[in-house]
């Protein structure tokens, strides 16, 4: 009897896990006012376009010192030295936000929210944005296992650093000395 109860509880746990694993991944529940799916990407093409515009403007700031005011034509709002855009995003609770901030010869671009599964997607947006802005890609070998990727425009080399944390994705563009 005890073995039958134990087998029953294991079977019920397995069936619950199977039901969770086959839950629908579409976000059609949102039309009925439900919360976004936990499996949905938090980034979309609107976020991608604004992120690429911010990357290009920041890279040009690093190369030539041009102000980020050109981002105003892409919907960014200036607040002090930073440029911010808030985008409606049906996949995120609240809005997506992209911020571009110039700081002493470097420029920071932050986008949020970004889920862990979206990090490689957002990382892949950086190179095309820089190439579209007129940069060329250079690979500088450091040793037999590691190479550094740099971007060059008008003889100026720009180093790109990335970091993530607390639902944000940060890019630091810095002039190579």
pLDDT tens track for 103-139 = 988 999 999 988 888 899 999 999 999 999 999 999 9
Question: 35 pLDDT band (50/70/90 cuts)?
Answer: low
Same structural domain, 77 and 121 = yes
Domain annotation covers residue 21: yes
Predicted local distance difference test score (pLDDT) of residue 153: 95
pTM of structure: 0.74
Confidence check: pLDDT of 3 > 60: no
Domain range for residue 21? Answer: 2-32
Same structural domain, 50 and 28 = no
CA distance 19 to 13: 10
CB contact at 8 A, 42 and 89:
yes
Same structural domain, 70 and 14 = no
Same structural domain, 124 and 79 = yes
Same structural domain, 7 and 58 = no
Domain annotation covers residue 38: no
Total number of domains in the chain: 2
Same structural domain, 122 and 51 = yes
Same structural domain, 132 and 58 = yes
Same structural domain, 120 and 171 = yes
| pLDDT tens track for 38-78 | 566 788 888 999 999 999 999 999 999 989 999 999 999 99
Give 168 or 1, the one with higher predicted confidence: 168
Same structural domain, 93 and 136 = yes
| pLDDT tens track for 134-162 | 999 999 999 989 998 999 999 999 999 99
Domain annotation covers residue 37: no
Long-range Cβ contact pairs of 150-153 (< 8 A, separation 24 or more): 150/176, 151/59, 153/59, 153/60, 153/63
CA distance 6 to 107: 60
Give 82 or 26, the one with higher predicted confidence: 82
Same structural domain, 21 and 51 = no
CA distance 133 to 125: 13
Same structural domain, 162 and 120 = yes
Q: Name the 3-class secondary structure at 167.
A: coil
CA distance 99 to 108: 8
Domain annotation covers residue 39: no
Same structural domain, 171 and 116 = yes
């Amino acid at each position: 009897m005890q073995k039958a109860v134990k087998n029953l509880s294991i079977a019920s746990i397995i069936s619950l896990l199977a039901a969770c694993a086959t839950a629908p991944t579409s976000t059609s529940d949102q039309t009925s006012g439900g919360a976004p799916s936990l499996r949905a990407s938090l980034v979309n093409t609107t976020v991608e376009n604004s992120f690429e515009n911010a990357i290009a403007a920041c890279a040009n700031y690093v190369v030539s010192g041009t102000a980020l005011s050109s981002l105003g034509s892409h919907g960014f709002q200036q607040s002090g030295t930073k440029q911010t855009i808030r985008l409606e995003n049906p996949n995120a609770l609240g809005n997506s936000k992209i911020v571009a901030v110039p700081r002493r010869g470097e420029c920071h671009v932050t986008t949020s929210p970004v889920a862990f599964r979206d990090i490689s997607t957002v990382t892949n947006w950086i190179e095309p944005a820089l190439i579209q802005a007129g940069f060329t890609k250079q690979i500088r070998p450091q040793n037999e296992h590691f190479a550094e990727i740099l971007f060059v425009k008008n003889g100026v080399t720009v180093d790109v650093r990335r970091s993530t944390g607390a639902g944000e994705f940060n890019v630091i563009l810095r002039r190579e000395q």
